[in-house]
Amino acid sequence: MEVRPVRWEGEALVLIDQTQLPHRLVEIRYRDWREVAEAIRRMVVRGAPAIGAAAACGLTLAAEAVEAADMSLFRQRWLEAAEAFARTRPTAVNLFWAIERMKAVVAACDSPHEARRRLREESEAILREDVEANRAIGRYGQELVPDGARILTHCNAGALATVGYGTALGVIRAAVEAGKRVHVYADETRPRLQGMQLTAWELVQEGIPVTVITDNMAGMLMRRGEIDLVVVGADRIAANGDVANKVGTYSVAVLARWHGIPFYVAAPTSTVDLSAADGSAIPIEERSSEEVTHIGGVRIAPEGVHVINPAFDVTPADLVTAIITERGVARSPYTQSLSQMVLASTGEAR
């Protein structure tokens, strides 16, 4: 079974409800763009590329819902939807990349009718290109994976985080497809347990060997010599190669460097934000404290205790061995290597 967390089915957008995994595989059909925005906020769909793709589809539904014969009125009302999507999640830059791409389509259209048709085509292109990009990331990335590698990953940068195939897990899938034996260690990734509930689920489906560890076991495994490389995804990569990704990524990167283990980031060029000079320019989403104090709706924390819940952290570029994109493997100095890949990608798409 190929996992497709974001897909069109006729007129409806279909999302896998990732809040119900690994216990139930439930798909939800959407016709109302407001519900899609809410699904992004609630993390029914999550992962930077999947968020971008879902927003593109949501903006297509929004265009179909806007009642306006006049293009100027259409634009005005549709832009309100675009703004609503922009407010859902602040860190994943693919969201803003997708919104900008959809805005450019609307700007080039002369009628609401044309806009509706071309937005749908653009959303379909975004879905298609994302899977293609992930397969290219896999091809480049798998060359960095030795046969027999024991690979640590954090959070979920799999098929579920994208339109399909995955970024970090795409590298692992491609290594397996190339005939390499691998063993994956998945950090469980508190507070929302994406490593345990999504990454492990995906890999179990495909028969790729996986061991789930609590986040605090990674250092011990590295010291014992049981990790050969780390590969993670990214929510936003600054021009200098600083990487915002799920909270805990930074700790893993420090531990990897301490133990001399390569630390790779796998992400499409749509995750690179050249307008952010470095990681300090990346907004970090603070999510509800209940994600920390509760698990599965059950309170685990004592009453009256204070918690924090930054969803992401920033790993400085100097801890990143390489960034694997669909354009190749970028290495330091990233300011140069990344901008070349992004510009090549933008040039071809337009």
Which residues bind to a second copy, rule: CB under 8 A? 21-23, 154, 187-191, 193, 196-197, 200-201, 204, 209-220, 223, 247-248, 250-252, 254-255, 258, 292-293, 295-296, 298-308, 310, 313-314
Which pair of structure tokens corresponds to residue 116? 């509706």
Minimum distance between the CB of residue 283 and a second copy, rounded to whole angstroms? Answer: 15
Minimum distance between the CB of residue 333 and a second copy, rounded to whole angstroms? Answer: 21
Alpha carbons 99 and 251: distance in angstroms, whole number:
32
CB of 107 or CB of 298, closer to a second copy: 298
* Nearest alpha carbon to residue 94 among 56, 60, 58: 56
**For the chain, what's the residue count?**
350
CB of 148 or CB of 209, closer to a second copy: 209
* Nearest alpha carbon to residue 311 among 292, 280, 285: 285
Minimum distance between the CB of residue 294 and a second copy, rounded to whole angstroms? Answer: 10
- Residues with Cβ < 8 Å from 178, sequence gap 6 or more? 142
Alpha carbons 197 and 235: distance in angstroms, whole number:
19
Q: Which of 130, 187, 235, 273 is catalytic?
A: 235
**Paired sense of beta strands 294-295 and 298-299, if any:** antiparallel
Cβ 60 vs Cβ 34: under 8 Å: no
Minimum distance between the CB of residue 122 and a second copy, rounded to whole angstroms? Answer: 35
Minimum distance between the CB of residue 126 and a second copy, rounded to whole angstroms? Answer: 29
Cβ 264 vs Cβ 146: under 8 Å: no
Cβ 109 vs Cβ 72: under 8 Å: no
* Nearest alpha carbon to residue 137 among 75, 197, 49, 41: 49
Which residue do the tokens 């920390």 mark? 292
Alpha carbons 77 and 264: distance in angstroms, whole number:
42
CB of 219 or CB of 328, closer to a second copy: 219
CB of 127 or CB of 237, closer to a second copy: 237
CB of 139 or CB of 257, closer to a second copy: 257
Minimum distance between the CB of residue 125 and a second copy, rounded to whole angstroms? Answer: 33
Residue 236's SS3 state is strand
Active site residue 235: yes
DSSP state of 288: -
CB of 2 or CB of 303, closer to a second copy: 303
**Catalytic amino acids?**
235
